[in-house]
Amino acid sequence: MASFFFGGHVLPHLFVTNHNQLAKKDKQMTKTFTKKDRYQMVTDAVLQLMNDHGTNWIKPWQEQAGNCHHNVVSKKAYQGTNTFMTAISAYQHGFKSNQWATYNQWKKLGATVRKGSKGTDILFFDKVMITDKITEEQAMVPLLKGFCVFNADQVDGYIAKPIDDQPTPSFNNDDAEKLIAATGADIKHGGNRAFYAPQPDFIQMPEKSAFKGTKDSTPEQSYYSTMLHELTHWTGHQSRLDRKLISRFGSNAYAFEELVAETGAAFLCAMLGLEKQPTPDHAKYLNNWLEVLKQDKRAMIKAFGQAQKAADYILATDSLDMAAE
């Protein structure tokens, strides 16, 4: 008997009443979840990065994420999982443009996708009606779907503005400090460990002078990268986004939360023009992350979604602060 998943819970005895009809309604460049396992597709891409880059798996796509990949028609920047999908595709194929569109959108713009070009899947949740076989009760359940998009470098008849010619985020300490202060988080300095304590609800950070630079970042940038990681944890408190932060180190739940924090910090770093630096603890987390992703193909998409919510929450505090000025 088939089962469908909603928010991670199994709903037994349910089936999609008109699945074939739903599939036929999809547009030419849209594919349903049943045709391609998109959960596995995203998971495989992340696993490959972790195997190739280890604890620095975020670097290849986070560098691209700062380029604000967006749809050329709507002008809206991609978020969450789609930030990763477009950024990693640009990284892998060497695209110089941050502009994307579906086959039909390019056609309407008078451009032509080159023959043989491989599209990039971006994902969204659509709602479908399901019916309980026994009770005949109906409910709307989210179904993961995808659009195939093409980068501007893959089309003829459209002149894309190079990323190098577009304004890009440039890291500024004042911007980072303003964002952190706007959250109102209780931040304590001292010691040699960085962590978030859920029960007393505070962030503990070493002094800035304790951080060391790398070939890619200054000591201050390493400090802010770590701070944004801990701030992402901070958003999970029950009074904020309530991510249930009561888990032991080494558990899958603990590893998942670290995955959310690392990804959320990467989104924030990209927005600030700051390169996300892996922390020393990541070597301990890596095997746990690999295990979580291998056991649950939905974990990475869930993590991207939670990370985007966390980043949006932190950015909203800064917006509210500016509105009050």
Residue-level pLDDT at 65? 57
DSSP 210-263: G----SS--HHHHHHHHHHHHHHHHTTSTTTT-------TTSHHHHHHHHHHHH
pLDDT band at 266 (very low <50, low <70, confident <90, very high): confident
Domain tally for the chain?
2
Are residue 290 and residue 319 in the same domain, yes or no?
A: yes
β-bridge mates for residue 5, sequence order: 10
**Pair 130, 275 in one domain:** no
- Single residue among 98, 132, 162 that ends a domain in this structure: 162
* Distant-in-sequence, close-in-space partners of 216: CB < 8 Å, separation ≥ 6: 275, 277
Q: Taking the complete model, does pTM exceed 0.85, yes or no?
A: no
Residue 52 above 90 pLDDT? no
- Tell whether 193 and 144 lie within a shared domain: no
- Do 147 and 124 form a contact (C-beta atoms < 8 A)? yes
pLDDT band of 158, cuts 50, 70, 90: very high
Residues 150 and 9 both lie in one domain: yes
List the domain range (segments joined by +) for residue 83: 4-35+67-162
| H-only helix segments in 14-164 | 19-25, 38-53, 59-65, 81-93, 103-108
In this structure, are residues 39 and 144 in contact, taking their beta carbons and an 8 Å threshold? Answer: yes
Instruction: Say whether both 151 and 21 belong to one domain.
Output: yes
In a domain, 243, yes or no: yes
In a domain, 47, yes or no: no
Q: Which of 112, 128, 162 is the last residue of a domain?
A: 162
- Residue 207 sits in the same domain as residue 290: yes
Q: What percent of the chain has pLDDT over 70?
A: 75
Task: Output the average pLDDT for the chain.
Answer: 78
The amino acid sitting at 46 is: V
Would you say residue 81 lies in a domain?
Answer: yes
